[in-house]
Amino acid sequence: MRKKRIMIIGAGGSGKTSLANVFNDIDEPARRTQNMVYGKRTLDVPGVYLESPWMHKHIIAAAQDASHVLMLVDQSSCRESYPPGFAKAFRVPVIGVITRSGEKPENDGWCIRQLKKTGVTEPYHHINLGDQTGLSDLVEAIK
């Protein structure tokens, strides 16, 4: 039986690798991810996989190794990344995560609408890795 990991997806620059480093107990700066990276506890999916519709089937297939899917939306950047209903393609719990929370609170409504449109149900977790805000709540939701 394969080890189940937490799959992290989102647009480029949304904080996927930084969050994966936290879950994997890695203390080094994040670098741009070119391929799927299987960490100790995570599966880090490159943003280009999400930004290329023909790669969506690969994300869905890789989710077979996932216990949960974290769908990240960056509060500091209003970029639409997910196709409508994309969260419904996964057979594991999907958790909506708003990263860089507090940096541009005026964009929070946009982030929530983006997660709802993609099919992620509430509650949504607001995190900021800079000051560790919301991280413990996210960890509890995964457990």
Rounded to whole angstroms, the Cα distance separating 7 from 105 reads 26
What pLDDT, on a 0 to 100 scale, did the predictor assign at position 120?
A: 97
| Tens-digit pLDDT profile for residues 99-108 | 998 889 899 9
What total of structural domains would you count in the chain? 1
Rounded to whole angstroms, the Cα distance separating 139 from 115 reads 19
User: 133 exposed, middle or buried (CB, 10 Å; 0-12, 13-18, 19+)?
Assistant: middle
Rounded to whole angstroms, the Cα distance separating 118 from 105 reads 21
| Tens-digit pLDDT profile for residues 61-73 | 999 889 999 999 9
Give the CATH number of the domain where residue 102 resides: 3.40.50.300
What pLDDT, on a 0 to 100 scale, did the predictor assign at position 1?
A: 45
pTM of the model: 0.92
The three-class DSSP label of residue 93 is coil
**Is a pLDDT exceeding 90 seen at residue 95?**
yes
Q: Which domain holds residue 130?
A: 5-142
What pLDDT, on a 0 to 100 scale, did the predictor assign at position 34?
A: 78
What pLDDT, on a 0 to 100 scale, did the predictor assign at position 28?
A: 79
User: 25 exposed, middle or buried (CB, 10 Å; 0-12, 13-18, 19+)?
Assistant: exposed
